[in-house]
Amino acid sequence: MDVQTCLVTGAAGFIGSHLAERLLDDGYAVIGVDCFTDYYPRAFKESNLEGLRGRPGFRFIEGDLGRMDLDALLDGVAFVFHQAAQAGVRASWGQSFAVYTDLNILTTQKLLEAARRASHLHKFVCASSSSVYGDSPELPLRESGPVAPVSPYGVTKLAAEHLARLYAANFGLPTVSLRYFTVYGPRQRPDMAFHKFLRAIYAGEPIPVYGDGEQTRDFTFVADAVAANVACMHHGAPGSYFNIGGGSRVTLNHCLEVLREVTGRPVCIARHDPQHGDVRHTWADTTAAQTVLGFQPQVSLQEGLAAEAAWYRDVVLARGLDRA
């Protein structure tokens, strides 16, 4: 039986590196692409790739998708997992918005355009975000509910998702979009909350909390997000989109208590005013993903934070990555 090839964009990133490893474990060949944007230090992404480099069936290409020969890249590819994007809600304001439009919208459109010409393509899975909902009062958040992003980042992710649906409607491209809800776990980006909290805890510094700490998030462990991507390979109608949440909707204050437990260290908090673009609550209704994809999160918040804390201690601290 011929081995099918998957393309994972953003393969050196947080979710992308885990996904590429899972696909290799499942017997697929994987082409990984990453352009190593300077949003955070390259050393983190090089560390993420260590479990991939040298593995049979894996080929890595460093390059900007917006400037690559995408027809050649997609030749023979059966599945595309488009994880690459310029991340960050708070950094998306002002002049940097141009970077977000380039990497999140224009690059996605170019990849979709090439994908509709790819003769072997079975599925195009696009990473979206719960940021598309904005600060909705309708909880839990359902795919049928209103979308009203409150950050420029959210606007670009919604635009990319709309493009995926347009290419499905107009050209029959088999796209599926996944709206991730606050993914966490080992290799989490250094700008994300739990990573920053762990940095402060192990350094004995106060953790900045914006607002009263009673804001809630639906936290999704990275392996569960990866499982949702894999499920999309054989499920999900063209143009469909699904919430992917971990079933761990808790307050930020509760998360800090769990971090105290799993690290065994004191947690000091410094209160600050809320930030522009931050939403108050997220909570995913994952009924559609459960019904269509068979998605069912497996990792509890306690287990997931223990795994992330162990990675932070054994990899980030041991190698001094946060000082890079």
For residues 167 and 238, give the distance between their C-alpha atoms in angstroms, rounded to a whole number.
9
Which residues is 109 bridged to in the sheet? Answer: none
CB 276 within 8 A of CB 153: no
- Two tokens at 205? 């510094």
Task: Name the active-site residue from 133, 153, 180, 312.
Answer: 153
What distance lies between CA 26 and its chain's CA centroid? Answer: 20
**Reduced to 3 states, what is the DSSP secondary structure of residue 287?**
helix
- Two tokens at 12? 């050196």
167 an active-site residue?
Answer: no
DSSP string, 21-46: HHHHHTT-EEEEEE---TTS-HHHHH
CB 147 within 8 A of CB 158: yes
286 φ, ψ to 5°?
Answer: -105, 20
Which residues is 58 bridged to in the sheet? Answer: 30
For residues 317 and 56, give the distance between their C-alpha atoms in angstroms, rounded to a whole number.
30
Name the residue with tokens 């690290």: 263
Residue 243's closest CA among 84, 80, 88, 127? Answer: 127
What distance lies between CA 181 and its chain's CA centroid? Answer: 9
Provide the sign of the torsion angle of the four alpha carbons 198, 40, 83, 93, taken in this order. Answer: positive
CB 22 within 8 A of CB 10: no
Name the residue with tokens 């080929």: 59
- Two tokens at 74? 């997609």
Q: Which of the residues are catalytic?
A: 153
